[in-house]
Structure 1
Amino acid sequence: MTKFIRHAIPEIIEVQPEKFGDYRGYFSEVFKQGLFEAEGIAADWIQDNQSYSAQVGTVRGLHFQVPPVAQAKLVRVLRGAIFDVAVDIRKGSPTYGEWVGIELSATVLNQLYVPVGFAHCFMTLEPDTEVLYKVSAPYSREHEGSIFWADKDLGIAWPDTGGAPVLSEKDEVAPSFADFDSPFEYRTRY
């Protein structure tokens, strides 16, 4: 049976689908709408995105999109492993500026649900890592935002991958959390 695990920020949910294996390999139901809805995850997934990162220590994030195209995400790893992080950026939230980090891997098949109102980032832990994630709104360059992934005010405990992080130019110059004015307001449901 699929497990839904709530962490320090209860809106961030780790999903652990059951895996059935035999001599041929394995089978797993990685997404079943009714199970997710029973857990309060009722996003209308409209698009799947896939990324490939060749090097260990590749960082992608902290990213988000603002309304009216804010995105919820359901993240999983097809090959390799990542340290996946969600940061609460909802003004007025009791966990504003706090984060949850989970190791996701192709071996475990676990996933992370990141709702609207959270910035998202991951760091690859293995070479040739492929990540697949569902989103609830289309990409919009005009509505994208970011926060510096290693901002000291956030205090994210990134794993030591043994080398310098691999970043895009955009992520290298993302604004600090102190300079960030969130467009998201805390409420119990989006």
Structure 2
Amino acid sequence: MEQELAKRFDPLPGRVGHVAGIESLTLDGRRYYFGFDYTSDLVVSPLIDEPEAMAAFAAEHMRQTDGIHDEAYWADLVADAVETSELVWEQPAREFTTTSLRTDLPTPGSHLLYLLDAVSEWDESFTLPPAAQQAYTRLGFDEDAFAKGIGACLQAILENGAGGRQDERTVVHCYLTSVKLLPGNWTLLFTPLAEAIAGHS
């Protein structure tokens, strides 16, 4: 049974065997669990909406500092992840709705943007489209650190609107619409963000 549950969700490419814990979030009232490597600030599993399947996945693909553990061990950590988090202190920061994701731009420094960065693991393999490259140059950002300029761009749009901040809007649009490249089923949470920027034109 444990192996069957573990096979229901494919591991994320290149993220097997990490020393990690269990985190959770809710989307439209449904709870999803995921593995998180706190040392690397890296999401190491897909979103899993069944506690038993999360425990089985972790037993198969994740580790603790003292090594491999069975499903029963992980089940306790999955249960704890409903009430506690090592990433955020307040429950509302882990609660999302499709409607709000589609209509509200994320706040700079928010848990949502932190998760997006932890899932995507932006690196030199990501190439900006020409328009975004030019906008980045005009804004004085370092293209090799793509995600680092997003907060400043979002803040400018939230404070002044997107109409007069075309370069910032171009950068944010590139960032948010790149979510289709995310691994596993994390597009469930982040695809609606691609629509949010359209509402701030």
Normalising to structure 1: TM-score of the pair?
0.27
Structure with more relative contact order (C-alpha pairs < 8 Å, separation 6 or more)? 1
> If each structure's helix is expressed as a fraction of its own residues, which one has the higher value?
2
- Tell me which structure has the larger Cα radius of gyration: 2
> If each structure's strand is expressed as a fraction of its own residues, which one has the higher value?
1
Normalising to structure 2: TM-score of the pair?
0.26
